Amino acid sequence: LLIIGLVVIFGYFKSRQEEKRPGAIEVSQPQTPSPLPLTETAPLATKTPTTVPPTTTTKPYQLLFNQSFLYLDLDYPLLYVYDPKQEVIKYLNLEDETYKEIAKVSNLKNAWLSEDKTKIALETDKGFSLLDLKTDSLYQLPPLTKKVILASNVYLYLSDEKRISYLASFQNGKITKIRDLGILNPDFVVFKNGLLIYEANSPIFYLEFKNLSILKLFLEAKSEFSLLANKNKDLLFINFKENNIWQSEIIDLNKKIKYSFSWATIKDKCTFDDVLVCAVPNDLINFSFEDWLMLKPNYDEKIIIYNPQNNEIKEVNIEEKFDFVRPKLTPLGIIAWNRIDAKFYLLKPE
Distance, in Å, from the CA atom of 237 to the CA atom of 193, rounded to the nearest integer, reads 17
Parallel, antiparallel, or unpaired for β 154-159 and 165-171? antiparallel
349 vs 347, more confident: 347
Integer CA distances (angstroms), 155 to 176, 277, 337, in order: 9, 28, 28
Distance, in Å, from the CA atom of 188 to the CA atom of 208, rounded to the nearest integer, reads 13
CB-CB neighbours of 316 under 10 Å? 21
CA-closest candidate to residue 330, choices 288, 271, 279, 252 = 271
If you average pLDDT over residues 170-178, what whole number do you get? 95
Q: Is the pLDDT of residue 28 over 70?
A: no
**77: helix, strand or coil:** coil
CA-closest candidate to residue 121, choices 158, 86, 160, 147 = 147
pLDDT in tens, 273-297: 999 999 998 877 677 777 887 887 7
Looking at residue 112, its pLDDT comes to: 96
**293: helix, strand or coil:** helix
pLDDT in tens, 194-222: 999 998 888 999 999 999 889 999 999 88
pLDDT in tens, 76-135: 999 999 999 999 999 999 999 999 999 999 999 999 999 999 999 999 999 999 999 999
> Residues 6 or more apart from 54 whose CB is under 8 A from it?
none
Looking at residue 305, its pLDDT comes to: 97
Cβ atoms of 343 and 63 closer than 8 Å: yes
**Which H or E run includes 233?**
none
pLDDT in tens, 263-278: 888 899 999 999 999 9
If you average pLDDT over residues 235-242, what whole number do you get? 92
Integer CA distances (angstroms), 29 to 83, 135, 283, 345, in order: 17, 12, 47, 30
Distance, in Å, from the CA atom of 228 to the CA atom of 44, rounded to the nearest integer, reads 29
